[in-house]
Amino acid sequence: MNFVNGIALDGPAGAGKSTIAKIIAKELNLPYLDTGAMYRAMALCAISAGISLTDAEGVDDLLQRTDIKVVYEADGQHVLINGQDVTGQLRQEEIGKGASLISKLRCVRDKLAAMQRDIAHETHAVLDGREIGTFVIPETPYKFFITATAQERAMRRVRQLREKGENPDYDTILKDIEARDYQDSHRDYAPLKQAEDALLIDTTHMTIEEAVNTVLRALGAR
Ligand code: DC
């Protein structure tokens, strides 16, 4: 099967996109590109350099001096910033919030989206993000919008954290999720939005397996 230009999975934080995208990529023997990791790496880079995530000029200047690379190793995708592997530092909550902030800047989005577009065109990868189907590779016919209610996404996050031995507060997590949804979908440039030709998959009452099967069936791979 040939998925020229890549496969786009968009949706809000915590909807299960990355889990679904990884399984789809494995099934189809294609690379998986976690585009959020690239925004997270840029946020980490700016924070480490002491540059405010809302300082467009400062961040633009930093971008000119920063070499970002995505490489694949046996355990999956790694992001290198000026040759240094920062993958292990990207999943912290603060970095996620920072990524959401820095992704509002046009200079950041233009640079990262161009890299993502090249990877999609060269490797026909499965990309997950917020605006892959509307902005990064709008030309692909393979588009999915994966969502779930904010309450369900908050519950899933609470369960994940409990499994790690933490004692999270549901209301705080729900508030964070709603704030992130608002910020990602209200930015001026390339906001989180369902593409008109994307297939909407609401996973609120679905298992991961059901969601994966829905995507694979739509791709003609089941
Ligand atoms: O998917 P994630 O939680 O790793 O993404 C972190 C933030 O990065 C997200 O809140 C908004 C931004 N982002 C984006 O603007 N576009 C993408 N394709 C991926 C992430």
Closest CA to 197 of 113, 121, 139: 139
**pLDDT for 39:** 98
Contact criterion met (CB below 8 Å) for 72 and 31: yes
**Euclidean distance between CA atoms 202 and 188, whole angstroms:** 25
Where does 80-126 have alpha helices with state H? 93-102, 106-123
**Euclidean distance between CA atoms 120 and 190, whole angstroms:** 18
For ligand 1, the distance from its centroid to the CA atom of residue 135, given in whole angstroms, is 13
**pLDDT for 12:** 97
The structure tokens listed for 141 are 């016919």
**pLDDT for 96:** 96
Q: What tens-digit pLDDT sequence spans the chain (222 residues)?
A: 789 999 999 999 999 999 999 999 999 999 999 999 999 999 999 999 999 999 999 999 999 999 999 999 999 999 999 999 999 999 999 999 999 999 999 999 999 999 999 999 999 999 999 999 999 999 999 999 999 999 999 999 999 999 999 999 999 999 999 999 999 999 999 999 999 999 999 999 999 999 999 999 999 988
The structure tokens listed for 161 are 């954290």
Residue having the nearest C-alpha atom to atom 4 of ligand 1:
36
Q: Which CATH superfamily is domain 7-219 in?
A: P-loop containing nucleotide triphosphate hydrolases (3.40.50.300)
**Euclidean distance between CA atoms 48 and 2, whole angstroms:** 41
Ligand 1 atom showing the smallest separation from residue 10 Cα: 18
For ligand 1, the distance from its centroid to the CA atom of residue 169, given in whole angstroms, is 23
By most ligand atoms within 8 Å of CB, the mutation choice from 10, 100, 135 for ligand 1 is: 100
**pLDDT for 28:** 97
**Euclidean distance between CA atoms 93 and 199, whole angstroms:** 29
Burial environment of residue 207 by CB neighbours within 10 A (0 to 12, 13 to 18, 19 or more): exposed
Closest CA to 22 of 77, 62, 70: 77
**pLDDT for 222:** 80
Contact criterion met (CB below 8 Å) for 68 and 115: yes
Q: Domain boundaries in the chain?
A: 7-219
Whether pTM exceeds 0.75? yes
For ligand 1, the distance from its centroid to the CA atom of residue 39, given in whole angstroms, is 6
By most ligand atoms within 8 Å of CB, the mutation choice from 35, 136, 137 for ligand 1 is: 35
**pLDDT for 1:** 77
**Euclidean distance between CA atoms 155 and 174, whole angstroms:** 8
The structure tokens listed for 18 are 């990355």
How far from the centroid of its chain's Cα atoms is residue 120's Cα?
14
- Hey, what amino acid is at 215? V
Where does the chain have alpha helices with state H? 17-28, 35-48, 56-64, 93-102, 106-123, 150-163, 170-186, 208-218
Name 143's bridge partners: 8
For ligand 1, the distance from its centroid to the CA atom of residue 100, given in whole angstroms, is 6
